[in-house]
Structure 1
Amino acid sequence: MGTLNMLGLAKRIGARFLLTSTSEVYGDPLEHPQKETYWGHVNPIGVRSCYDEGKRTAETLAMDYHRGADVEVRIARIFNTYGPRMCLDDGRVVSNFVAQAIRKQPMTVYGDGKQTRSFQYVSDLVNGLMALMEGEHIGPFNLGNPGEFTMLELAEVVKETIDPSATIEFKENTADDPHKRKPDISKAKELLNWEPKISLREGLPLMVTDFQKRILNGEK
């Protein structure tokens, strides 16, 4: 409903509209890496489908307003992003691992930890969104870092960065958790002249410094 209301506003005042969609529109993908032409593999009645299908519907609405009402829309499919000033306990895997390691708690890995994700630093994402909004191409564009890590590999990078003695605790996986996630960013490279510059090993310490200050100051 928020997207629908904002599209109506953009139509009335002639604004350019940015939809921050998500890699979750691909669901548990059967194509790897994922290109924008891939329609996805989503369970429409699954426990996490409200997010996947909500974003898919938002993309549909954006394209309908573009085709039917000439609204200038831009669609970005954002892959996992991390950086300073994230919520300490937002439930995302990077902030979970970092906060747990700083607090001397075991890092929680769901399932066997072999599922993969791709992690981009926040400034790379911001540059991509600016290039998209300043350009003439509608999208959708994958905005993500093609560097692919299993959850266990991510946990090892967090250990190296924060505390080599940190431990891992395995828990049962959530339903419909995607097994692989990696963007094909060829389209963004070609049409937006954009690609991420900051690797996980470069970006993670910047996030860790911020989290350490906030946790030591007693922020929840």
Structure 2
Amino acid sequence: MNFYGNQFLFKLDCTLSYDYQHNSTKNRSFVNIYSQMIDLLTLRIKNMVCERCILTVWQALIDVDAVVERVDLGVAYISVPLSADQTKEIEQTFKKLGFSFLNNKQSRLVEGVKNFIHHKFSNLDEKQWNATLSEELQKELGKDYTTISTLFSNTEGITIEKYLSNQKVEKVKEFLSYNEMTLNQIADILGYSSTQYLSRKFKQHTGMTPSEFKKNSHKPLRKSLSI
């Protein structure tokens, strides 16, 4: 959004909280119109899980001449609402790429959980595991954890804790493939209490120990026999 657009929205934000306290039908109608405008300029997108997804979505929007301001995991911000033709074209492109728009609050909440977890893995720090996931999600999504957890489990068929555990194992596999960190270092940065606990979780998920996985992932490819 350009400078003047941002200034306009900023001034609205500063006055809306005051206006809304005055039980005026006019003010409440204005708030609703403002909310609808923000919805049109905020595109919620499913299945964005990495930095590469951000670049892919950005390019897809540019290709339909959308005026893109910023793209983050799970969301893109535009300055001008998409036309019907643009929406149809981008939906077709997203389908080919494995993305889709999130058009209801429940879907957005579930995707918000996933995006938050994926974001944790893109900014790894040992200290980030000090806070409990339930506290972080409540703060991030503005809902109580019971509501978030129940909706996620009913929608995805898996608990948030299990989803996080699976994502951790995938990150362990990535680190092992790079062969740049010891198992102790991996356990520390991913918040495992010990290497033994990491190994147990890893084997439950993959059927292999970390050392077995590491050995298999670095096997040289056999040369094809010449005829």
TM-score relative to the length of structure 1: 0.24
Which has the higher Rg, Structure 1 or Structure 2?
A: 2
Q: Larger relative CO (CA 8 A, sep 6+): 1 or 2?
A: 1
TM-score relative to the length of structure 2: 0.24
Larger % of helix: which?
2
